[in-house]
């Protein structure tokens, strides 16, 4: 798997700093936040869920229904479907880097 230039440069800098400081390269990489440890992966997942929760909290049920169904009222199942469609849109926009303020 190819590594992007920025990550490679961070790795090289960490190697140099490790030699200067007499530390293991792995310690310097971890300190620089370059490594994806189990704890960091967990924190990323938690932050992602919290972000979606905040975005959903900013939504209005009537606004979602109006956007996806063209009316403000509906059944619980329709509201659930509107939320699913909204989540799908959030995922697509996040993947494309166009998330903005959904």
In a domain, 26, yes or no: yes
For position 1, what pLDDT does the model report? 66
Same domain for 29 and 60, yes or no, is: no
Cα 9 to chain centroid distance, Å, stands at 24
How many other C-beta atoms can be found within 10 angstroms of the C-beta atom of residue 85? 14
Determine which of 7-16, 26-35, 62-71, 92-101 has the lowest per-residue pLDDT on average: 92-101
For position 93, what pLDDT does the model report? 87
Range of the domain at 30: 1-35
Give pLDDT tens digits for 78-99: 889 989 999 998 888 888 888 6
Give the residue ranges of DSSP H helices in 1-102.
5-21, 25-31, 38-57, 61-69, 76-96
Same domain for 53 and 98, yes or no, is: yes
Q: Which residue is it, tokens 């920025």?
A: 6
How many other C-beta atoms can be found within 10 angstroms of the C-beta atom of residue 2? 5
Same domain for 54 and 85, yes or no, is: yes
């Amino acid at each position: 798997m190819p590594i992007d230039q920025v990550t490679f440069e961070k790795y090289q800098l960490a190697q140099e700093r490790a030699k200067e400081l007499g530390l293991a390269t792995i310690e310097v990489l971890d300190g620089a936040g370059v490594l994806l440890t189990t704890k960091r992966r967990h924190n990323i997942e938690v932050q992602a869920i919290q972000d979606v929760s905040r975005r959903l909290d900013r939504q209005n049920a009537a606004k979602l229904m109006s956007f996806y169904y063209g009316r403000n009222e509906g059944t619980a199942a329709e509201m659930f479907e509107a939320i699913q469609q909204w989540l799908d849109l959030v995922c697509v926009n996040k993947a494309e880097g166009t998330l903005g303020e959904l």
